[in-house]
Amino acid sequence: MHTRPVMDWKHGVGPSRTGTYRGTDAAVINIGAPGSPVQGPQFGGNCSVGGTWYQGKNFPASYKNAYFHADLGNQWIKNVTFDANNNPVSVRDFATAVGGIVCLAENPLNGTLYYIDFYSGIHKISYGGNQPPIAVASSDVNYGPTPLTVHFTGSGSFDPEGLPLLYNWDFGDGTPPSVQADPTHVFNAVPGVPTLYVVRLTVTDPGGLSSQASLNISLNNTPPSVTITSPASGTKYPMTGDSVYNLRADVTDAEQSDSQLSYQWQTILHHNNHEHPNPIDTNHVTSTVISPIGCDGNLYYYRIVLTVTDSAGLSSQAEVDLYPDCSNTPPQISDIPNQTIDSNRSTGPIPFLIGDAETPAANLTLTGSSSNPALVSNNNILFGGSGSNRTVTITPASNQSGTATITVTVSDGSLNASDSLLLTVNSTNAPPPTNAPAYLLTEGFEGPGYENSDWIEHGAPNPDYTAIVLHGSQSLNCAGEQYLERPFAFTSSFYLYFKVRWNVWGDYNSIIYWDDPDWNIVAGLYADDNRLEVDHGSAYAVGTTTIVANTTYHLWVEWTKGTGNNGTMKLFISTTGVKPATPEANITAGNGGATQRIYIGPTSSGPNVIFDRILVDDVPIGSNP
């Protein structure tokens, strides 16, 4: 039996979502969005770490039976509350900057939380009470000939509650300790003999809690000199399989032989904002295995670190970075044939193929340019399709004829490839139409703002959008939770046409919906699993066209209220402007009420969509209106 996760979040910065339903169909909604069953802030993550159900009494009662969950990549711990039916209700930020957290558990004896940071060990989280101070120690020098005068600084230590601290410096040489915060001490040793002293600072708060920090002071000694000679820094590792690299270094020490030095080699994979360290290798001469990771759009590289420490406590470190060999070749584009059309016509979608040896076809970008902008503007070169199979639709300016060279360019982000076609537009000597139909509402977003009054903006939709224009010289762009509202009172039937194009598709989001005088939703058009869904009250139907980004669609919606459970709603979809003979989604038993208002645009984050040429009438609207 399949069960959906109660929450999910996108790699990196989010969004975070929870499951819901539209009728009987599964859907999702952003956490914290209006109408979401789970409240709380948005979040993302890189590496989910299972946590614990809190059963203790150390924390306030609101945490009882709540769930703690962590993320290694984004270094957070969150707290999730559930209702009696085990459904999530809220997500709360609990802790941030918790380092490389890999495990989270409750101590059943006292109700405190413990987590393991694989960089720094075990940490305890408890509620209230006194927290131990933090000891911070430093010195102006840490090695030199005897006698050696060293100035220590401990005043950077602090208490989380801001309480005063007591200081105790143990210099490790048998002399009396110092209780100053920043003492000075002279160290002595037998001349010429490397000697290590371990200095420990202990700070104690008024409640008796303490912590320590230590420093190495090395007399008659200098640190080793370390240079990694193999592999060379900047080496590119192949992406065809595992590679073995010999680890070699030039290491010298003025006081000690190589046999008296300790080596620590470590290979670390860096991935975006976190690391994956390999175990430490203490052999002086060894090797490491590099796996073919990278070249997928994420940041990957390996860092090889060598730390060499002498017997008197001084160490030096060297490192080299290895990068994936993402050798790039230009993308490919198939030949696009020349086209001849009549004026006031579009070419319709012209198919062509694109590809790239290193970059997925879905990640390639397309641009178009025209040698004759008066005949064809760049904005009227529109792309559709997905993956390797793409289309281009070219729409000349109204009542214009002539020729234009159209160049289509595909890019992988650094290299390009192009193909050109000759577009010939023949004059039909037909005068512009003078009997264009008069619609109940025509909104083309031409000129500043809106052509009609009574539009109410939610968020910041852009009615003067010119980056990609679907009709005329401007369109409406709604990026994320941006939408329009206006009066739309129909008690019997209406017929709607509009053009729409997604720059970024977003499932389970509103495209257009209608509500009644009491703000109850009575009908809607929704994005549903790369399809379009129409709703009439509780009845719904889903279209058959797979909707993809960067394709312009013509949509017709025809609605009748009916007298109970016999309301109708039809959806027609086209990419050419020619209205299909039959609807691809058809409701015949709708029970929604009369409409009072229309809402156009997404009502939650995710999609980026363009609207244009919105027409409303009380009779059916035909092709290419």
Mean pLDDT across the chain: 91
Looking at per-residue confidence, does 85 or 556 come out higher?
556
pTM, to two decimals: 0.49
Over residues 335-351, mean pLDDT = 87
| Omega before residue 231 within 30° of 0, cis | yes
* HEC secondary structure over 551-609: CEEEEEEEEECCCCCCEEEEEEEECCCCCCCCCCEEEEEECCCCEEEEEECCCCCCCEE
Exposure on the CB side of residue 229, measured as CA atoms within 13 A: 8
Whether residue 553 is predicted with pLDDT greater than 70 in this model: the reply is: yes
What's the rounded Cα separation, in Å, for the pair 181 and 445?
Answer: 70
H or E stretch at 523: strand 521-528
**152 by DSSP, 3-state: which?**
strand
Domains defined along the chain, listed by start: 8-125 (no CATH), 138-219 (2.60.40.10), 226-324 (2.60.40), 332-426 (2.60.40.10), 441-617 (2.60.120.200)
Percentage of residues in the chain having pLDDT higher than 90: 68
Over residues 357-386, mean pLDDT = 90
User: Tens of pLDDT along 188-222?
Assistant: 999 999 999 999 999 999 999 999 999 999 999 99
Whether residue 329 is predicted with pLDDT greater than 90 in this model: the reply is: no
Looking at per-residue confidence, does 445 or 58 come out higher?
445
| Omega before residue 147 within 30° of 0, cis | yes
Whether residue 366 is predicted with pLDDT greater than 80 in this model: the reply is: yes
Q: Which pLDDT score is estimated for 239?
A: 84
Whether residue 470 is predicted with pLDDT greater than 70 in this model: the reply is: yes
CB-based contact 497:625 (threshold 8 Å)? yes
| Omega before residue 15 within 30° of 0, cis | yes
Q: Which pLDDT score is estimated for 436?
A: 53
User: Tens of pLDDT along 410-435?
Assistant: 998 878 999 999 999 988 654 444 45
Q: Which pLDDT score is estimated for 126?
A: 82
Q: Which pLDDT score is estimated for 437?
A: 65
Which residues, 6 or more positions from 91, have their beta carbon under 8 angstroms from its beta carbon?
A: 7, 16, 31, 38, 39, 40, 41, 43, 78, 79, 80
DSSP, residue by residue, 184-217: EEEE---TTS-EEEEEEEEEE-TTS-EEEEEEEE
